[in-house]
A and B are shown apart, each in its own frame.
Chain A
Amino acid sequence: MELVYGHPKSLKPIQTKYCPGCGHGVIHRLITEVIDEMGMQEKSIILNPVGCSIWASLYFDFDSVQVPHGRTPAGATAVKRMLPDHLVICYQGDGDLAAIGTAEAVHAANRGEKFTTIFVNNAIYGMTGGQMAPTTLVGQKATTAPYGRDPIENGMGYPIRVLEMLATLGGTKYLARGAVNNAVNVRKTKQYIRKAFEAQMRGEGSSMVEILSQCPTNWAMEPADSVGWVESAMIPFYALGEIKNELADVAGKEAGK
Chain B
Amino acid sequence: MAAEKRLMKGNEAMGEAAVRAGCDAYFGYPITPQNELTAYMAKHMIDHKRVFIQAESEVSAINMVYGAAATGARSMTSSSSPGVSLKQEGISYACGADVPMVVINVARSGPGLGGISPAQGDYFQSTRGGGHGDYHHIVLAPKSVQEAADLTFEAFDLADEWRMPAMILADGMIGQMMEGVVLPEPKDPATRVAKPWAVGNKGKRAELNHVDSTQLVPENFEKALHARYARYDEIKRTVARWEEQHLEDADVILSAYGTSARVCLGAMQMARKLGLKVGLLRPITLWPFPEKRFGELAGKRFLVVEMSMGQMVEDVRLYTHGKSEVSFYGRCGGMIPTEEDVLAEIRRILKK
Contact A82 B63 (CB under 8 A): no
Q: Which residues on the A side are within 8 Å of B178 (C-beta)? A: none
A77-98 at interface with B (beta carbon < 8 Å):
77-79, 81-83, 86
Contact of A74 with B208 at beta-carbon distance under 8 Å, contacts A54-B214, A82-B24, A83-B201 already known? no
A249 at the binding interface (Cβ < 8 Å): no
Please tell me the size bucket of the interface on B. 35 or more
A67 at the binding interface (Cβ < 8 Å): yes
Q: Which residues on the B side are within 8 Å of A77 (C-beta)? A: 53, 64, 67
Best-buried of A43, A62, A65, A86 by chain B (most CB within 10 Å): A65
Q: Residue on B with the closest CB to A41?
A: B202
A76 at the binding interface (Cβ < 8 Å): yes
Q: Which residues on the A side are within 8 Å of B60 (C-beta)? A: 71, 74, 103-104, 107
Please tell me the size bucket of the interface on A. 20 to 34
B contact face: mostly helix, strand, loop, or mixed: mixed
A66: contacting residue among B25, B53, B90, B213, CB under 8 A:
B213
Q: How far is the CA of A77 from the CA of B66 in the complex (A)?
A: 11
A68: contacting residue among B51, B93, B202, CB under 8 A:
B93
Closest chain-A Cβ to B257's Cβ sits at a distance in Å of 30
A191 at the binding interface (Cβ < 8 Å): no
Q: How far is the CA of A50 from the CA of B73 in the complex (A)?
A: 24
Contact A67 B66 (CB under 8 A): yes
List 19 additional contacts besides A62-B202, A71-B63, A107-B60; criterion CB under 8 Å: A43-B200, A61-B208, A63-B199, A63-B202, A63-B209, A66-B213, A67-B63, A74-B63, A74-B64, A77-B53, A78-B53, A78-B65, A79-B68, A81-B51, A81-B53, A81-B68, A82-B200, A83-B71, A104-B56
Pairs A–B under 8 Å by Cβ, sample size 15: A45-B200, A47-B67, A62-B202, A63-B199, A65-B70, A65-B211, A68-B90, A71-B60, A74-B60, A74-B64, A75-B64, A79-B67, A81-B68, A82-B200, A83-B201
A residues with CB within 8 A of B: 42-43, 45, 47, 54, 57, 61-68, 71, 74-79, 81-83, 86, 103-104, 106-107, 111
Q: What 8 pairs across the A-B complex have the smallest Cβ distances? A: A78-B67, A75-B67, A74-B63, A71-B63, A78-B68, A107-B56, A63-B199, A66-B212
